[in-house]
Chains A and B, each alone.
Chain A
């Protein structure tokens, strides 16, 4: 009993093993690789693009909203799988007649509440992404339109 690992012990082992593998891998590669850095190579990697601005830049708050809703349903899904596997075991269903019904009702309520949340967000229009409407400044050109037309006419004729 004394020699058995507790849950914390397992987690600690994982952490130690993780650090160990990282250090070993980085150390071996630093021994083997050629080291010839230049500006391009040292640049921060951002999906292959040239980086723009800083990570602290502002972005639209709607990203958070969509992310939140996404996480909500992802968590629900993650929750549904073990629920089906654990609660649906034959031994449990046999042991108590009400077990299956209660488990089903509980999960139905849970899912209903989540769907209600989605319905709320949908009905209130928080999911529709308002497209930006760029305002075009009225521009008065000092060059009159006829001059352009004349030039066009001239060159189109030439080409023709």
Chain B
């Protein structure tokens, strides 16, 4: 039944397969963590603070183990190496924010709707597995799709973690949009396979011929990843999901999946004309920023701003072929790091800040008005984070923007294409637009009259959160004064 040739080669094949599996060791650590967290969840039956603490620490330990593994067996691709670390760091930061969030506030009471479900950690680790996998360079299409789906499905579930009507609705919308997008991606992948007779990404890139059909297939594949990045034309889900999902998770969603998908887009981007990237990126920025101008819900506003940021980060799809990391990629990675800091900080702020209205009106900007008088420290911090996200000195994002702009300018000097100038102008214009809506919150905090004089007392936990916020603030300042430290690390 088997040829003798095949049987002779069998030990070698087994060896190769095992070798390939070992390459996924960081992911395997997380799989182990997932199993352990699920078992712990079953053994410790009652939802208490102790159980929450144990699961949090165990999951964090497995994340650290994966991080260690990334160091011990570094991926050949430098970009993968950096991105995987960044994703794990973001996950750990999310864990730090988690205890302050309103998610775990209801721990210990046995109401179905308000109880924090500790399966959270299992699903969160699954999400991390998917994202770590997506960053790898030598994937074949099936692996890529598998990792994409693992991360998406976990994200759909986590969106509903408040388990109220709004969360369910957002989760369902996310699921419907997401499954259509990933279906289209899979369809495109089947075409790519048909055109090149290979599932390996490297072979596909080498064999790719500029036919109209091939471009159509490629754009189908891009759909799923543009969806993850929430860039135009697949950004529609973002505001609803950001509004309903728990804040620490929103911070994670707006950072880690985007980084993973950007890496895939970067790898496929070399097949595309950069003008397509410029168009997509410009429209994303304009759409995000202009929508945010008219938005009054704080979390939705941040969602629109995230669309705009994602738009700028699409610049990574432009890649002149170089051996080392090109300046364009470095600039985007740096931008991502700086943005991540601001994003996590502002969502921690949202969780800590008391609001004037409850329930439906809670996160509207009007429910913060006048609080600058009773809570001056928190309000000044909000101002700083908002200025950071806009990109004004002396805060870190200033360099983030500047580095990306200079990378765009460099692209212009290399290609002498007028498109780059237009792109640069659009990007600068968008920074100016962003200033208006980012300052909406500080304006309401400081310049609007206070309706009712409530005295907000911070608990000890919230005070720890406040200290964390100060640390984030110091980090943003540090990034302004010593950006070269991060840039060195990235190169």
Residues of A within 8 A of B (CB): 89, 91-92, 94-99, 102, 113, 116, 119-120, 123-124
Contact = CB atoms under 8 A, between A and B. Distances in A.
A98 B35 contact: no
A91 B7 CA distance: 8
B7 A95 contact: yes
B11 A95 contact: yes
B10 to A, nearest CB: 4
B273 interface: no
9 contacts: A91-B1, A92-B7, A95-B8, A96-B11, A96-B14, A97-B11, A116-B38, A119-B42, A120-B38
B42 A95 contact: no
B35 A99 contact: no
Q: By CB atoms of chain B within 10 A, which of A91, A96, A99, A124 has the most?
A: A96
Contacts of B38: 116, 120
A23 to B, nearest CB: 30
A89 B42 contact: no
A104 B375 CA distance: 63
Given A91-B1, A91-B2, A92-B2, A98 B14 contact: yes
A99 B10 contact: yes
A120 B14 contact: no
A85 B1 CA distance: 13
Main secondary structure on B side of the interface with A? helix
Contacts of A119: 42
Contacts of B41: 120
B216 interface: no
A123 B39 CA distance: 10
Contacts of A120: 38, 41-42
A92 B14 CA distance: 12
Contacts of A95: 2, 7-8, 10-11
Given A116-B38, A116-B39, A120-B42, A99 B14 contact: yes
Main secondary structure on A side of the interface with B? helix
Interface string B1-39: 110000110110010001000000000000000010011
Contacts of B11: 95-98
B8 to A, nearest CB: 7
A91 B8 CA distance: 11
Interface in B399-454: none
Contacts of B18: 102
Contacts of A97: 11
A109 B100 CA distance: 37
A95 B42 CA distance: 43
A85 to B, nearest CB: 12
Contacts of B7: 91-92, 94-95
A124 to B, nearest CB: 8
B35 A116 contact: yes
Interface in B355-400: none
A121 B267 CA distance: 40
Given A116-B35, A123-B42, 7 more contacts: A89-B1, A92-B7, A98-B14, A113-B35, A119-B42, A120-B38, A124-B42
A57 to B, nearest CB: 20
B10 A92 contact: yes
B245 to A, nearest CB: 22
A153 B1 CA distance: 89
B422 to A, nearest CB: 46
Contacts of B2: 89, 91-92, 95
Contacts of B14: 96, 98-99, 102
Q: By CB atoms of chain B within 10 A, which of A94, A95, A116, A120 has the most?
A: A95
A102 B14 CA distance: 9
Nearest to B117: A124
A99 B15 CA distance: 10
Contacts of A99: 10, 14
| Leading 6 A-B pairs by shortest Cβ distance | A95-B7, A95-B10, A96-B11, A96-B10, A123-B42, A91-B2
Contacts of A89: 1-2
Contacts of A113: 35
Contacts of A92: 2, 7, 10
A102 B18 CA distance: 10
Contacts of A123: 42
A13 B10 CA distance: 35
